[in-house]
Amino acid sequence: MQQLKDNFERKFEYLRLSITDECNFKCNYCLPDGYKRSHQGEFLSHQEINHLVNAFSELGTKKVRITGGEPSLRKDFPDIIKSVASVPGIQKVATTTNGFRLQKDAQQWFDAGLDAINVSIDSLDARTFHLITGKNIFQKVMDGVSACVDAGYKQVKINSVLMKGLNDKDLDLYIDWIKTRPIQLRFIELMQTGDNAEFFDKHHLSGLWIKEKLLAEGWTQKVPLSHDGPAQIFTHDEFQGEVGLIMPYSKDFCKSCNRLRVSSTGKLHLCLFGEQGVDLRDLLVDASQKEALKHRIILALNDKKESHYLQSGNTGATPHLASIGG
């Protein structure tokens, strides 16, 4: 089997596949004014997705995360899950969701072949949740998380974008919450994009203080698997849950990069903060194009840079986090 490697000997076994860039939330760090549907009707079809994932699988991809926008806004989302899960070589199928449909659909997605799920919950305080997301449905989302645990997912993770003055005070509340719950909390540093410079300057907070707090309180850092994401994971003997930290501004963050991204309109992005992307869509029409598709993907990796250069203030061409799947 061919392996996807770049010029820095990084191996890529993880694909983040966006199937829509629409979202029904208005999170203040991502889409504070909601989404203008500029790509409606242009998203990758079920068949195109199947051709794409088959090619990536033959290039060594083991894990696919289906993202958005909000992926559950697509009516064929369960069919897409089933299709991706059935591709030989794909060992794990995950998704990231805002939780709007979880309470109703968690079991259906699990039955379709979804192994793991990340739910974005940026505060455990209902009022702060409403302030951040623009949606007053905190309890509905929390009930959806419980539905995921009941459905039997291998992994249930909670994503929280860490923001100074908004949810940083919730840390102890979050950690107490996972004492008796087999859930992984993931605190993600706020990242600067093309449209949030003022918000970033006001609310960015390093996750290093959380790491120092965890280590001081007896938490232990785990060794990651080859197709895990960039989170540093911490466990504690007295807690059923885990804590993950994603700190893109930390030293050597890009050294362990193992993921590639494909947007909802079929562009390969070598980095969340990369440039315009490499168009793959013309090679997704028919299964007979698979070798040419694989060749274009391999060739594109020659242009992958050593770092995202966020620490230098470079945000690339990313207008907002929903545009290529976060």
Give pLDDT, residue 286: 96
The total number of residues written for the chain in this structure: 326
Q: At what angle do helices 290-300 and 46-58 cross, to 10 degrees?
A: 60
Burial status of residue 317 (CB atoms within 10 A of its CB: 0-12, 13-18, 19 or more): middle
Give pLDDT, residue 38: 57
How far is the C-alpha of 282 from the C-alpha of 285, rounded, in Å? Answer: 6
For residue 69, cis peptide bond before it (omega within 30 degrees of 0): yes
DSSP structure string for 24-68: S---TTT-TT----TTTT-SPPHHHHHHHHHHHHHTT--EEEEES
Contacts of 220 (CB under 8 A, 6+ apart): 234, 235, 236
Name the strands in the sheet holding 14-18, side by side, starting at the edge strand that comes first in the sequence: 220-221, 232-235, 242-246, 184-189, 155-162, 116-120, 92-97, 63-67, 14-18, 259-262, 267-269, 278-279
Identify whether the C-beta of residue 199 lies closer than 8 Å to the C-beta of residue 29: yes
Q: Bridge partners of 162? A: 189
Amino acid type, 237: D
pLDDT tens series, the chain, 326 aa: 678 999 989 999 999 999 998 999 999 888 877 765 655 568 999 999 999 999 999 999 999 999 999 999 999 999 999 999 999 999 999 999 999 999 999 999 999 999 999 999 999 999 999 999 999 999 999 999 999 999 999 899 999 998 999 988 888 999 999 999 999 999 999 888 767 788 888 998 888 999 999 999 999 999 877 666 678 999 999 999 999 999 887 766 778 788 999 999 999 999 877 667 899 999 999 999 999 999 999 999 998 887 765 655 555 545 555 556 65
Give pLDDT, residue 230: 77
Q: Bridge partners of 116? A: 94, 155
Answering whether pTM is above 0.85, one says yes
Give pLDDT, residue 311: 52
